[in-house]
Amino acid sequence: MLERNVKIGLKEGLQSKPAAQFVEKANTFSSNITLIRNEKVIAAKSIMGVMAAALTPGTEVKLIADGSDEEKALDSLEKFLSTP
């Protein structure tokens, strides 16, 4: 299991289209992927969970991946979340 702290850099935050793109990207990995914000655990492969979290620009989250491709998953998803 690997984890990283990531600051949301997306201009609109993780809402609607960016949220769908993030979930689609997360689903390309076999690892179990979660986000944690303020002790709330969010399933990164769930569009409803990601959108309900209302992650705005500048929000810090913990990104956790556990599985055979965890490092690739974290690298890819961290880049997606932190890029403006």
Note the pLDDT of residue 27. Answer: 98
Question: What residue type is assigned to position 14 of the chain?
Answer: L
Q: What is the mean pLDDT of residues 67-80?
A: 98
Note the pLDDT of residue 74. Answer: 98
How many domains is the chain built from? 1
Write the CATH number for 68. 3.30.1340.10
Residue 17 to residue 30: CA distance in whole angstroms = 22
Note the pLDDT of residue 81. Answer: 96
C-alpha to C-alpha distances, 27 to 38, 57, 58, 59, nearest whole angstrom: 24, 23, 24, 22
Note the pLDDT of residue 31. Answer: 98
- Other CB atoms within a 10 A radius of the CB of residue 2 amount to 14
pTM: 0.94
Q: What is the pLDDT of residues 8-67, one digit of tens each?
A: 999 999 989 999 999 999 999 999 999 999 999 999 999 999 999 999 999 999 999 999
Domain range enclosing 60: 2-82
